[in-house]
Amino acid sequence: MAKTHFSLIAQDRIVYEDDVDMVILPGSSGVFAALSKHAPLMATLQPGEILVRKEGEEDRYFAVGGGFAEVRPDEVIVLARSAESAEEIDIQRAEEAMRRAQEYLASPEKDRDLERRLAMEAALRRSLARMKVARKRADVRARGVERGPLPPQREEERE
């Protein structure tokens, strides 16, 4: 299968870069898959999960705190507000961030400062994405499940 070059770039580092078979991204208007020969597009990303599939390797999961994706026929570039691989995520830190955000959003404070409220809502979404990705990795390990089938390719995407 033709590969696409995937770069996941956070503000201070390259989190991941390799030739891969498929990347699934949390687009602001919906989750989408980018494969080789994908039509060019730009998309904003919401906090969520990125899945990277490469033949012969275990699927990789990343938490992303939102950002931008540029998809070209042979390349996918994500400029992320923040990004961590499943292995890097500190679950306890994410749980604490979640609790802080939930407490603020349940308090009367939330109606006094719109900017802070939006920031806390975004922090909550980031923490939930981190916990989801970290837990998914733990589940995959526990079940010994590695990867599902690749989605069917459209005729024009085949080599």
Categorise residue 143: left if φ over 0, alpha if ψ from -120 to 50, beta otherwise.
alpha
H/E element holding 20? strand 14-20
Which x/- pattern, by CB under 6 A, does the window 91-120 give for ligand ATP? --xx--x-----------------------
Asked if 153 is part of the footprint of ligand ATP (rule: CB under 6 A), the reply reads no
- Which residue number, 69 or 86, has a Cβ lying nearer to ligand ATP? 86
Which of 99, 107, 98 has the alpha carbon at shortest distance from 125?
98
Q: H or E element: which one contains 61?
A: strand 60-72
Q: Is 45 in the site for ligand ATP (CB under 6 A)?
A: no
At its nearest, how many Å lie between ligand ATP and the CB of residue 117?
15
By rule CB under 6 A, what count of residues binds ligand ATP?
A: 12
Amino acid 155 reads E
Q: From the CB of 159, what's the least distance to ligand ATP, in Å? A: 36
Binding site for ligand ATP (CB under 6 A): 65, 82, 84, 88-90, 93-94, 97, 123, 126, 130
